[in-house]
Homo-oligomer: A and B are copies of this chain.
């Protein structure tokens, strides 16, 4: 039952907003096409005009752009429950690409269906709008990091953010996460190079902050990592207090 877009979506909306049973029923009535997408595939490409929104049900995706020199900057990561291109509802020409970083299960909902849902259920419209605003809040957080924090702090921040977001969708029983990102991908999100990311992660491991092997990440000292990354989860705007307290014990 977790592997279905309507469920993922209504669960997400409950996480961030106040929606009632009728709203939820309307969400569950959305027409959705499900699709599996392979690791590394572009789901939407920069410049494309889209007529549907994606709901990420399972797997990890990112949004990115390339500079003229061919350097890649990852703009956002997405975990199950996210609606990575909800903004396309109003801006349907994509100004960046959107790709699967693992094998993913994705639900597609036509824009018109979302439109009419918004007209019928203002609460849902508000919740969806809020979802795009949280997206924006995360962008702001990244801007501050990229502009004013050291490579190590940015890395710490990102690890905390991802941990918290993964945790908020119930995918992390304890402080161990599945984080299927290569160091290259981390570097492209952090505005660093692989070499630097590698050294930062090595230092974190030596300092006893994390433990990482392949796609497994264990945060061994949440408090120190969060402090180093100046991480305060308020900007994620989860309503549940559980989701916004430290990882400590749950």
A residues lining the B interface (CB < 8 Å): 65, 67-68, 71-73, 75, 87, 90-91, 93, 95-96, 118-119, 122, 125-126, 129-130, 132-137, 139-140, 142-144, 146-149, 188-191, 230, 234-235, 237
Chain B positions within 8 Å of A135 at CB level: 136
Query: Are A191 and B147 touching (Cβ within 8 A)?
Result: yes
A-B contact pairs, 22 of them (CB 8 A): A65-B144, A68-B230, A72-B148, A73-B144, A73-B148, A75-B140, A87-B137, A90-B129, A90-B133, A93-B234, A95-B235, A118-B122, A125-B125, A129-B132, A136-B136, A136-B139, A139-B139, A139-B143, A143-B146, A146-B147, A146-B191, A147-B190
- The minimal Cβ–Cβ distance linking A135 to chain B, given in whole angstroms, is 6
Task: Give the CA-CA distance A118 to B142 in the complex, in Å.
Answer: 30
User: Known pairs A91-B130, A148-B191. 5 more at Cβ < 8 A?
Assistant: A73-B148, A90-B130, A91-B137, A125-B125, A139-B143
A interface SS class: helix
| Centre residue among A87, A134, A144, A235 by max chain B CB count within 10 A | A144
For A144, list chain B residues within 8 Å (CB). 65, 67, 73, 75
Question: Which listed residue, B118, B139, B148, touches A71 by the CB 8 Å rule?
Answer: B148
Q: Which of A68, A129, A147 has the most CB of B within 10 A?
A: A147
- Report the Cα distance A130→B72, complex, angstroms: 26
> How many Å from the CB of A70 to the closest CB on chain B?
10
- Contact, CB under 8 Å: A140 / B95: yes
User: Within the assembled complex, what's the spacing in Å between the Cα atoms of A93 and B239?
Assistant: 13
Chain B residues with Cβ under 8 A from A235's Cβ? 95
A122: chain B residues at CB < 8 Å are 118-119
